[in-house]
Structures are given as structure tokens and as C-alpha cells.
A = this chain, B = another copy of it.
Amino acid sequence: MKKLIKGLREFKASYFNTHQQLFEQLAHGQTPRVLFITCSDSRVDPNLITQAQLGELFVIRNAGNIVPPYGATNGGEGATIEYAIQALDIKQIIICGHSHCGAMKGLMKLNSLQKEMPLVFDWLKYAEATRRLVNDHYSEYEGEELLEIMTAENVLTQIENLRTYPVIHSKLYQGQLSIYAWIYHLENAEVLAYDPHKHAYVLPQSQVKESNSDEMLVKQFPNCSLAINSTNIQQLEVESSSDFSQSVSERLPATPLSPEQLKRIYRGANN
């Protein structure tokens, strides 16, 4: 605690003094451009990993970066999403999972939680679609690799859930909203973004080259994005292979994903 209070002093002495103009401006209101939904895990810091300034990220954090389907819960997620889209007119949403996620580990041994952590057990019901999919289609995987797959699939599951909110449903209509799936690998500080056209998580950097239009920087889910001309897709396929193997090697030094598994994640992505 002592350390945190010292930190408060340092923050004011250093950061505040060098950014006074920003603070004056922020006092008049916030205009964040991104809703960032991630896990409560202490090893994930949205502003640090994106180097975003104060005022740029509107953040929801809970165990497992879970978004319950519309109407399924009366907790803060739905209200905060509604506020972000309706009141702040945010047009970009990132759901960011991360490696070594405790909630995903819990999902792998769900029954053991019921007695020990009943609220966590109940909460993971909203990741049941992830658990079910992984149990049905990845039975041959285990340990670290299975955890990696579950984490990757869960972000996609939560995007499905997110789409059931009226305010999201309406904004997606006419492509006024973009939704991105990220995985942060806390062992190597790497973020991979889901690319629905490559049907895999890839280095978002690889996608920056493709275009200058913000719309194109990170591929969005087909059903939340404008059509992409085939040429563009060609380019993309071409350079993707290299990018992808690269991303995979950085991501799973021990257990690179097999092409077969990528196919699975691809199909999973197709949900």
C-alpha cells in the first residue's frame, strides 16, 4: 500500500506535470475511440500494451474477459457496453484474451470449482459455448496447448455473445461498428489479432502493410465489415503464410500449431 501511495505522488510529480494540457482537456469530457474488454489479470495492462494515452481506452475488465449474452445477466457488462456505444458513440471494440488465463484454466476443470468458488462456477456458464466446442473438437489436445486453444476460441465465443446486444446489433448494421479479437501473450509481450480471412490469429502488424485505411488495418469480422475486393484478399493470402508461421513460432515456441489445428481454429472462426 505504501508503494502505491508513493506511486500516486510520483505520478502527480512526473506524469501530471508533463501532461497538464491533456488533463485540462480531459476534465471537459472523454472521447475514447475504443472499448477494450479484457481480463482482470494483473499481468494485463491495456494502456501499457497499446501505449494508449489517458482518454483513449474505455475499459471493461472481469475474470476471463467474458461478455454474457444479452439478457442472460444483470451485471455490469451489458450496462457498460450500452454506455460505451450509446452514450460515448464508440465505434471500435477489442476483446482481448491472454495466455495463462486463470479463468480459462478454471473452464478446463469446471466441476472442481462448484464447491470452492460457486460464483466463478456460475460465471463460467457464459463461456460454456467455448468449453463445449473445445471438448467436442479438440479432445486430442491437453495442457498448455489446450489452454491456448480454449483462450483463442473463447474470445470468438464472446464476440458471438456481444452481437446479441440490441445496441451492438443496430450499430453493426451498416458497418458502423468494428469488433476485433486479440490474444495477449504475457510471456513475450506479443499480441495476435484474429484475422477472419486468414481464419487465424496473426500479428496485427502484418496487416498494417496492406492498406492505409483504418478500416483495413485489422481485418474485421466479415459480418461487421465492408466487402473486401478479391485483389486485396490475394495479397493478403500471399503474405499471410510467412507472417503466420512467424506469429506461430513466436507464440508457441514449445508447441507450434499444426496446419491441421489451424484448419480447426479456422473453422471454429467460421462460427
A→B interface (CB under 8 Å): 1-12, 15-16, 23-24, 26-27, 29-30, 32, 34, 40-43, 45, 47-52, 54-64, 66, 68-84, 86-87, 92, 94, 100, 102-103, 116-120, 122-126, 128-129, 131-133, 136-137, 157, 160-161, 163-167, 169-170, 172-175, 178, 180, 186-191, 204-205, 208, 214, 217-218, 222-224, 230, 264, 267-268, 270-271
Contact = CB atoms under 8 A, between A and B. Distances in A.
A42 B55 contact: yes
Q: Is the interface of A mostly helix, strand, loop or mixed?
A: helix
A97 to B, nearest CB: 14
A64 B82 CA distance: 13
A82 B42 contact: no
B83 A49 contact: no
A264 B174 CA distance: 7
B223 A23 contact: no
A102 B79 CA distance: 12
Nearest to A24: B187
A223 to B, nearest CB: 5
Given A29-B100, A61-B61, A133-B170, 6 more contacts: A8-B191, A11-B48, A23-B189, A30-B42, A47-B48, A87-B120
A148 to B, nearest CB: 13
